[in-house]
């Protein structure tokens, strides 16, 4: 069993991961270097390599933590709840993730755009299984006539697209809206109206 990290080791690991998140989200995996990460972290490269043996190891750690956080809102979709409020709560949680963790969203988007070599197993395994499980819940609600009949997997895809857009294309969103707008507040109101109408049973 590995020995627990000391307080200093824990702090340095967190500093490296925070610096790596900044560098990876700005430059992607291929464009990032250990030298850049060490500089942002304020550590020497040999010191950084004491904690993580490679750029790949740092990136993999970040992706594992990110995927777990990204899946939490979907895990929270309660089969025993009221369907429309449950879906709306999921939309809100996903939008809050984009607002509060834009660098993490861009990190994930960059990885997917490169074909997901470092996250493919998790996407094809844990993520796919969770989506299938929640799609079954949505399908049951549709069969019960409690929400409109839609393709449940594509409904989940649409929520991902319409919430993560605000993190991944933040500059474009703010440039088009101009001064005096709160993109996330406005997006929340719009998405609430959109999905309430979309999900309303006929």
CB atoms within 10 A of CB 96: 14
- Max mean pLDDT range (5-14, 112-121, 192-201): 192-201
- Max mean pLDDT range (5-19, 46-60, 115-129, 141-155): 141-155
Selected residue with higher pLDDT from 106 and 135? 135
Percent of the chain surpassing pLDDT 70? 98
Selected residue with higher pLDDT from 50 and 7? 50
pLDDT at 4 over 80: no
Question: What's the chain's average pLDDT?
Answer: 92
Which residues lie below 8 Å from residue 24, measured CB to CB, with a gap of 6+? 32, 59, 62, 107, 110
Residue 159's pLDDT is what?
A: 97
pLDDT at 2 over 80: no
Tens digits of per-residue pLDDT, 30-45?
899 999 999 999 999 9
Q: How would you classify residue 3: left for phi > 0, otherwise alpha for psi between -120 and 50, otherwise beta? A: beta
Residue 77's pLDDT is what?
A: 95
Going along the chain from its start, the domains and CATH numbers come out as 1-53 (1.10.10.60), 62-199 (1.10.357.10)
Structure confidence at residue 3 as a pLDDT band (50, 70, 90): low
Residue 140's pLDDT is what?
A: 97
Residue 202's pLDDT is what?
A: 82
DSSP 56-106: HHHHHHHHHHHHHHHHHHHHT--TTS-HHHHHHHHHHHHHHHHHH-HHHHH
Tens digits of per-residue pLDDT, 51-101?
999 999 999 899 888 888 889 999 999 999 999 999 999 999 999 999 999
Tens digits of per-residue pLDDT, 175-188?
999 999 999 999 99
pLDDT at 1 over 90: no
The pLDDT of 135-153, averaged and rounded, is 97
């Amino acid at each position: 069993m590995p020995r627990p990290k000391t307080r200093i080791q824990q702090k340095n690991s967190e500093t490296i991961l925070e610096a790596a998140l900044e560098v990876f989200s700005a430059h992607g995996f291929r464009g990032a270097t250990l030298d850049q990460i060490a500089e942002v972290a304020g550590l020497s490269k040999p010191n950084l390599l004491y904690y993580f043996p490679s750029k790949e190891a740092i990136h993999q750690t970040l992706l594992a933590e990110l995927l777990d956080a990204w899946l939490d809102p979907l895990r929270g979709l309660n089969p025993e709840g009221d369907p429309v409020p449950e879906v709306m709560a999921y939309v809100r949680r996903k939008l809050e993730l984009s607002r509060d963790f834009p660098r993490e969203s861009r990190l994930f988007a960059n990885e997917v755009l490169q074909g997901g070599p470092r996250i493919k197993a998790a996407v094809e395994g844990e993520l796919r299984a969770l989506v299938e499980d929640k799609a079954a819940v949505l399908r049951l609600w549709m069969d019960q006539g409690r929400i409109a009949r839609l393709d449940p997997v594509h409904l989940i895809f649409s929520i991902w697209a319409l919430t993560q857009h605000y993190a991944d294309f933040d500059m474009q969103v703010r440039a088009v809206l101009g001064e005096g707008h709160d993109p996330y507040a406005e997006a929340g109101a719009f998405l609430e109206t959109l999905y309430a109408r979309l999900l309303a049973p006929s």
